[in-house]
Structure 1
Amino acid sequence: MKVNFDELVEFPSVFPFKVMGLADPKLPERVVSAVQKHAPGDYTTTVRPSSKGNYHAVSIRVTVTSQTHIEALYKALGEIEGVKHVL
């Protein structure tokens, strides 16, 4: 399903991303590094471990400027080693 963010979001806008991946202490810095390539800035992440501790959910809020920008971030975040889903 293709979402037309241009009709739903007024740009620029702060957009939340949640990256779910294997539990790795370096996952948050990999997320920030990937975001920095598309939207330089200072970022903080929040990390929530799964109930069994096998996975981490890393949340980050990014100022995006267009639908293309959102799509590029989803792609970059999805290519991080150990990432299973990007929401």
Structure 2
Amino acid sequence: MPTDTPDDDFEKPEIARESLLTFPTVFPMKIMGRREDGFAQVVSEVVQKHAPDFHPSTIEMRTSKNGRYISITVEINARSREQLDALYSELSKHPMVMMVL
């Protein structure tokens, strides 16, 4: 049965990815991989590509108990969810990186 109100008079729900973060914000990321030469350098270069104001001197590194793995913690000044998504994606795809949190 037809209605008296045209379709465009109805409010359409907006589908958006909501973020619990308010930007800009300081955002920590933990990157884990096997302990191998160049890992910290690779992580630093990828992070600087997405967050040019990142300072590699602020990197925190921890080696696993058995010494085979390393975790690197970085803090960036995140400007947007898109920036974080792009950084997470590039780090996750790198062959030296096992996990990004």
**Smaller-chain TM-score bracket:** 0.7 to 0.9
Q: Which has the higher strand share?
A: 1
**2:93 counterpart residue number:** 79
Q: TM-score, normalised by structure 1?
A: 0.86
Distance 1:65 1:82 in 2: 26
Q: Secondary structure at the match of 2:94?
A: coil
1:43-62 maps to which residues of 2 (within 5 A)? 43=56, 44-62=58-76
Deviation at 1:5, TM superposition (A): 5.9
Name which one, 1 or 2, has greater alpha-carbon Rg.
2
Deviation at 1:77, TM superposition (A): 1.2
Higher relative contact order (CA 8 A, sep 6+): 1
Aligned Cα RMSD in Å?
1.4
In the alignment of these two chains, the number of paired residues is: 83
Contiguous gaps of at least 5 residues in structure 2: 1-16
Q: Deviations over 1:13-50 (max 9, x none)?
A: 01000000010231111111001111102232111001
